[in-house]
A and B are shown apart, each in its own frame.
Chain A
């Protein structure tokens, strides 16, 4: 009797221990957890009073960029956006293109990110297939508009990293892929790089 109760206490204890520690540890590596963490970090930076205002703009952007870089697989995004032309590039050119492309995306979205004014982020669901995952989120604006966002992630080196984002069902990668293909069809890769450089310079 006594022993049975002791055993029961131990097993209940183990189950509780498992619930309190084991599960969160397992979940922390999931794709949705990753998105949640990065979003949380960015929102924290945006709402940090010590980083507010124009004079802190550079520092604020640097920190946001850092948080995003950890979660985004820029090379995969750049490769996918440049599509068929990618394999013709030399390694140094690939690096340069990835850097330029990520700056372009950053410039495009940073202003919108900084216009953040208390929109709600609702985490809907995640779907995992082997090394791929989709995380669905919706952003609820203060006017109660819902914007569906879907993150596509891949696991590499034990980490889930974003390689595409669909906003309202429209893919970011596809958007750039079509534009790049248009430019490449009419002119050259060098011209595309020039245009990207000009765009990045102009908006900074």
Chain B
């Protein structure tokens, strides 16, 4: 009887540990288990420069959403963003692909606009800036003055 109690408590302990681990990994990876809140916006870029799904979307450096998916559409990158519910974006807001640091990971920065119209959920951010090709700029700088 006492032996059974010991095994049961060890089992429960392990189970609780596994649950905690699962919870932690979901929270750390910020995965959305139940659909997640927020609304979708689409944006077309000529070059995303290695942007990954799950990358952050920021305004003024503050996290406001995530990259949900990136697909190739007519040789352009169609990016679907999930933006937090209460946030309104003007239709002239600009989405730019930025790099953390000099060689860090890519993220999307949104600079709010001045227009009256708000992009509806499922709508499109028209103003996009592609990733700046650093090598291209360096090569222009290096070889430009012939």
Give me the interface of A with B, judged by CB distance under 8 Å: 76, 79-87, 132, 143, 145, 152, 163-164, 166, 168-171, 173-174, 177-178, 181
Contacts and interface: CB of A to CB of B under 8 A. Distances in A.
B39 interface: no
Contacts of B114: 79-87
Contacts of A164: 127
Interface residues of B, number: 23
B140 A173 contact: no
B37 interface: no
Contacts of B38: none
B14 interface: no
Contacts of A79: 92, 113-115
B118 interface: no
Interface in B104-134: 111-116, 126-127, 129-133
A79 B93 CA distance: 11
The 3 A-B pairs at the shortest CB distance, nearest first, are namely A86-B114, A79-B114, A83-B114
A11 B111 CA distance: 55
A76 B113 CA distance: 11
Nearest to A169: B130
A178 B111 contact: yes
B46 interface: yes
6 contacts: A79-B92, A82-B114, A163-B92, A164-B127, A174-B129, A177-B111
A171 B130 CA distance: 10
B146 interface: yes
Contact of A83 (B47, B112, B126, B129): B112
A152 B127 contact: yes
Contact of A143 (B46, B113, B133, B146): B146
B39 to A, nearest CB: 20
B61 interface: no
B50 interface: no
A170 B129 contact: yes
Given A80-B115, A83-B112, A84-B114, A145 B127 contact: no
Given A83-B113, A86-B114, A177-B94, 13 more contacts: A79-B92, A80-B115, A83-B90, A83-B112, A84-B113, A87-B116, A132-B126, A169-B130, A169-B132, A171-B94, A174-B111, A174-B127, A177-B111
B46 A169 contact: yes
A173 B92 CA distance: 10
B82 interface: no
B112 A84 contact: yes
B144 interface: yes
B56 interface: no
A85 B111 CA distance: 13
Contacts of B47: 169
